[in-house]
């Protein structure tokens, strides 16, 4: 089993009472949920600290040191999809970052995993399951609920404006992700190896499927629905 690389500011995992406790940050903007999670985790041996926004999460890593696990709510104030996840991954490296959400796109989870995230834990899990998932991640493993990523194998589901389910292809997702990062069709075409006309065709298809009037609105809708 692969172990998590450590630095002097990172702890090691152990269930023994005299061992250094696993450091966990619960980053979520709902105080009731933070309290409900943190107290039981402390009782079973975790060293838990809390943050309530993207900014305070980054500040806490800076001031308190690296965490073994950052349990990261993807809908907190200040979060900007994959860009914010990548920032926290970089700041907390080599500690683990695990997405934590009640509703998140499998595509976003997959892209976060590709960037180095160590998993996704739904907010609907029991406290015991949460504890077990965190202990698993702390050993260096990746935790994702069984079957969760299967829905993203051939694209992702997004609700169109008329309520129908529209599927974005993997290539359309690549284009949409770059649009959300401020790239123009010419730049996207160059990076992905096709013509600018093809990029425009992909954008028309994306807008149609998302019910968007233009590329800017398509990017906003995608972020709101956690497609990217």
Residue with the two structure tokens 């389910």: 165
d(CA 88, CA 72): 9
d(CA 44, CA 120): 21
CATH number at residue 71: 3.40.50.2300
Residue 1 located in a structural domain: no
Tell me which DSSP letter residue 120 carries. E
pLDDT digit string, tens, across residues 27-49: 999 999 999 999 999 999 999 99
Provide DSSP, 127-190: HHHHHHHHHHHHTT--B--TTGGGGGTT-EEEE-TTS-EEEE-HHHHHHHHHHHTT--HHHHHH
Radius of gyration of the chain (CA): 19
Residue 57 located in a structural domain: yes
Residue 15 located in a structural domain: no
| Overall domain count for the chain | 2
pLDDT in tens, the chain (228 residues): 333 333 334 443 334 343 568 999 999 999 999 999 999 999 999 999 999 999 999 999 999 999 999 999 988 899 888 889 999 999 999 999 999 988 777 878 888 998 999 999 988 888 888 999 999 999 999 998 877 766 544 444 444 443 333 477 778 888 888 888 888 888 888 888 888 888 889 898 888 888 888 888 888 888 777 676
């Amino acid at each position: 089993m692969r172990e998590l690389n450590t630095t002097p500011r990172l702890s090691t995992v152990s269930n023994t009472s005299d061992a250094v406790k696993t450091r966990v940050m619960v980053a979520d903007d709902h105080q009731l949920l933070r309290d409900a999670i943190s107290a039981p985790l402390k009782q079973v041996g975790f060293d838990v600290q809390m943050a309530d926004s993207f900014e305070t999460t980054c500040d806490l890593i800076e001031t308190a040191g690296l965490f073994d696990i950052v349990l990261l709510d993807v809908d907190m104030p200040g979060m900007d999809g994959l860009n914010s996840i990548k920032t926290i991954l970089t700041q907390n490296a080599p500690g683990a970052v695990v997405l934590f959400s009640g509703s998140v796109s499998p595509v976003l989870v997959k892209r976060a995993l590709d960037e180095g995230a160590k998993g996704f834990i739904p907010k609907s899990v029991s406290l015991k399951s949460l504890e077990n998932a965190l202990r698993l991640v702390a050993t260096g493993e990746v935790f994702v609920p069984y079957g969760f990523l299967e829905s993203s194998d051939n694209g992702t589901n997004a609700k169109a404006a008329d309520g129908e389910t529209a599927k974005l292809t993997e290539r359309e997702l690549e284009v949409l992700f770059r649009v959300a990062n401020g790239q123009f069709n010419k730049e996207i075409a160059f990076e992905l190896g096709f013509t600018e006309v093809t990029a425009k065709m992909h954008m028309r298809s994306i807008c149609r499927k998302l019910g968007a009037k233009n590329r800017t609105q398509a990017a906003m809708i995608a972020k709101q629905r956690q497609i990217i």
